[in-house]
Structure 1
Amino acid sequence: MTETISIAGCSIGQSHRPFIIAEMSGNHNQSLERALAIVDAAAGSGAHALKLQTYTADTMTLNLGEGEFFIDDPNSLWRGTSLYKLYQEAYTPWEWHKPIFERARALGMIPFSTPFDATAVDFLEGLGVPCYKIASFENTDLPLIRKVAATGKPMIISTGMATVADIDEAVRAAREAGCRDLVLLKCTSTYPATPSDTNLLTIPHMRALFGCEVGLSDHTFGIGAGVASVALGATVIEKHFTLARADGGVDSTFSMEPAEMAALVVETERAWMALGRVHYGLTEKERKSLVFRRSLYVADDLVAGDELTEKNLRIIRPGLGLPPKYFESLLGKRVGRAVGKGTPMSWDLLSSDETATQMPPELPRNARA
């Protein structure tokens, strides 16, 4: 088991409830008022952290509207615009970061961001962020990873599209540059992602391979993938978050609404609590339920010498008689005294000679189920 990581006083690890991140991305729709409302809604849903993305269109790409700088993929949510215009629409103005972070902290959430270049890291350091996220599209940007790792703060790296070799390079770069606390997130970099492309079984494999905390950056609809990931060892879950998908926005299609985020927080914690440990047999709270098992009961009034038959010996509830496994061996045996209907079957009801031949030697004569 990997060691527990602490981010701003919040413990992350398999001994702790899943750490849920609400990703605002560009869902503020260029309104600070809406951005702050998203913070309020994320806190109200129970999310533990609020994440931004820190870049400008100029730090992301070139201001060109043709060739590879123009999105013409018919399956893309952003078809028909240039990369530059997309990032202009989606970016969070840097002057908004401070009031957004302050609002998140005031509401008990941990605010941080994904930097996309060195200048963003320097800016976020000035705001005192407690950790950093590396986006999937930047997980091969080793200079950026080294820059972030040099801060010495915990790092969360999404692994969308990355091969094992890519992840290994990223992890090595982070470790060598000073990162001690690292979380890798399984991620499928399609928007939205389908459950069939999510491959959650990668999560325990990634934990074993890289010896760090693991989680899920989830672009599927709903909470199913997130809840399932917890059963496979995910300790961090990130989902895009908006006030309402109907309001539109660059990421709204695959973003969660407040009620869905609240359900994710509750159900992932329930999933984590349900993992428990390997255990067979009774739990202490189950002990009272033993009475609801089936057992052997006398079903008719009997007198001494009467023979036990399938009619007068029944396998029924409650479970206070001998276990059903003795049913066949008791048929044809005789009772040694009068027995009333509804009496739980026990060895001491048999005549003395029957008891001597039938009662298991390891059980006392008054044994009960």
Structure 2
Amino acid sequence: MTSVPAIFRAVAAWAEGRPFGDPAGMAVRELLHELTGPPRIGVCTVDAPVQVVIPGAIMVRTTWPAVGSGADVILLVHPGDLPGRVRSRMRTGPQKFVHIEDKEQAENYTIGVSELVEVREQLLSGGIRALATRFPQLTALVPAMGPAETPLPRVVVIGPDPGQVDDVRARLRPHVTVVESADADVVVAVPGGRGFMLIDAPIIQDAWHRVGRLVVLSPLPAGMCPQAVPAGSDLVDTIARVAGHPAGWEIPVVPTGKWIQAHDRMRLARQAQIHQLHRSGDRRGMRELAKLHGEVLPPEPRLPTGYLAAAAGLIVGVCVIRVDLLPVVLGIVGMHVFRHHQRRVRTWWDQAAHMLSLDTTSEGVGHRRGPFGWVHEQSRQSGRVT
């Protein structure tokens, strides 16, 4: 029987010692609760989740790159070799990543208790470090987690001059893991005797597409690879810094018409939500919706003090002069007060709906046409949508 790791015991003792209602203690207890029970397993390809049932496991719907997936183990279904970017993500963790060839292998997957405990120790360590940014009192627990493991980056060196490439490899071997294939975290491009030429563009661009992190020892021709990072004066330090950032991905070009359709659907959904709140008179719900979008709505609609004072003076005057007319006057005053209040409520709803449609990214109040109008205008000016 596997014993409870010391880290879990220390964290649980800390959480139990917090006072009732303490947000930090509640967050830590929730984290510990997530890391107990059967293994949580997600199965996916690099394109989509895979529906699989594994006996004795809690299945988690997962999409690549499985960030914040809530799983202990990610089974990546991918026939053949994995691209370098994918391998880099798998090495980062903190979940356990397993490369399998087909769905049948996933159905037969099992994980040992001791291996699951090791994975959950890493998840607990990462969770505590993340919570410590929100709750400074948790920093006392971070030393118990031990230093964060930072494996040496895997580096592949390319270039048109084999001699120069070998020299750079020799310089880097004491500091990084030098590899010979695209299964790397960073690509270092070494120029030839005359620097980088346009003829080098295919290999440079292919290296960027396959790995996503590129360090160059010499400037590239304009437009060859804008994402490349200059090596600077300290190549090893630059590699470590680049490896610590997510691999770059090229965002596919989306036709502007598709963006317009998406914004129109969002606008209609927003209008329907506001209309529903308006019909139900839920001003509190409207304020909560505005708060989600960083807006502060006007104060609650109230009748002016002067207006109420005038109505009260009229009623008192009628009581003194012609008390027999009091019921009629009360009816007339009540109707006017009601109508005036309704107008102020309608004005409040109009202002609230307008504030939720403002384009806060535009310069100057006069240019605020709303985010949807802004997108349409930009598309029209660029000539991509007529």
TM-score interval, smaller chain: under 0.3
Structure-1-length-normalised TM-score: 0.25
Bigger strand fraction:
1
The two structures have a TM-score, normalised by structure 2, of 0.24
